[in-house]
């Protein structure tokens, strides 16, 4: 099977949706995606892209449709715990460095779960260092480790390197998936991504 990747940033609600739905895909197809963090702000800067709420701010009908589409996705997949964070947009630099530190420590799944839950279900301000440390502690993770690591030069360089890798591979937003070298952007591409995996498995 081709290498499977899920690129994410905690700041994207669509990345949260993909994060929640992806385990169903993995179970259905008996596959496993590698979770890879990259800084969405860095991607936007490098590619000239903008968040949808900025890019389409002057198109009310488009904004209304995006809100409706989100709620359709939520209903379809039973994501009733989702809440649009009142602190959005949130600066995710610290928690994305935390994701790199978690990857290094071998506990990225647990870190992803507590941050995704805090930001997109519990309406917490994950741009606030004190809030993040409270969330990490409540999840049973070592807050001291993360408090130190998010300032570590190697972790900072690691996030920068992953973000550059994403740019080099053509990623311009989140979530993004790869099936081998084939890229799929956005939660709405997941059905096509599944078909690609199934075709390659034949």
pLDDT at 72: 92
Tens of pLDDT along the chain (202 residues)? 689 999 999 999 999 999 999 999 999 999 999 999 999 999 998 888 766 666 666 788 987 888 898 999 999 999 999 999 999 999 999 999 999 999 999 999 999 999 999 999 999 999 999 999 999 999 999 999 999 999 999 999 999 999 999 999 999 999 999 999 999 999 999 999 999 999 988 7
Here the contacts of 1-4 (C-beta below 8 Å, separation 24 or greater) are 1/31, 1/197, 1/200, 1/201, 2/179, 2/180, 2/182, 2/197, 2/200, 3/34, 3/178, 3/180, 4/31, 4/32, 4/33, 4/34, 4/177, 4/178, 4/179, 4/197
Question: Model pTM?
Answer: 0.93
pLDDT at 1: 64
Task: Report the Cα–Cα distance between both ends of the chain, in Å, rounded.
Answer: 10
List Cβ neighbours of 194 (8 Å cut-off, separation of 6 or more).
Answer: 25, 28, 29
pLDDT at 65: 86
């Amino acid at each position: 099977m081709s290498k499977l990747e899920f690129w994410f940033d905690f700041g994207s609600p669509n990345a949260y949706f993909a994060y929640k739905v992806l385990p169903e895909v993995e179970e259905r197809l008996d596959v496993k995606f590698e979770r890879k963090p990259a800084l969405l702000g860095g991607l936007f800067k490098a590619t000239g892209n903008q968040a949808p709420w900025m890019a389409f701010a002057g198109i009310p009908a488009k904004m209304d449709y995006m809100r409706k589409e989100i709620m359709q996705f939520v209903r379809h997949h039973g994501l009733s715990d989702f809440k649009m964070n009142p602190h959005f947009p949130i600066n995710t630099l610290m928690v994305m460095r935390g994701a790199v530190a978690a990857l290094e420590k071998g506990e990225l799944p647990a870190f992803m779960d507590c941050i995704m839950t805090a930001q997109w279900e519990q309406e917490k301000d994950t741009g606030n260092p004190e809030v993040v440390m409270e969330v990490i502690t409540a999840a049973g993770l070592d807050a001291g480790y993360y408090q130190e690591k998010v300032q570590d030069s190697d972790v900072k360089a690691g996030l920068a390197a992953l973000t550059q890798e994403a740019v080099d591979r053509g990623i311009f937003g989140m979530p993004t998936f790869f099936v081998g070298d084939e890229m799929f952007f956005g939660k709405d591409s997941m059905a096509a991504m599944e078909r690609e995996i199934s075709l390659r498995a034949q």
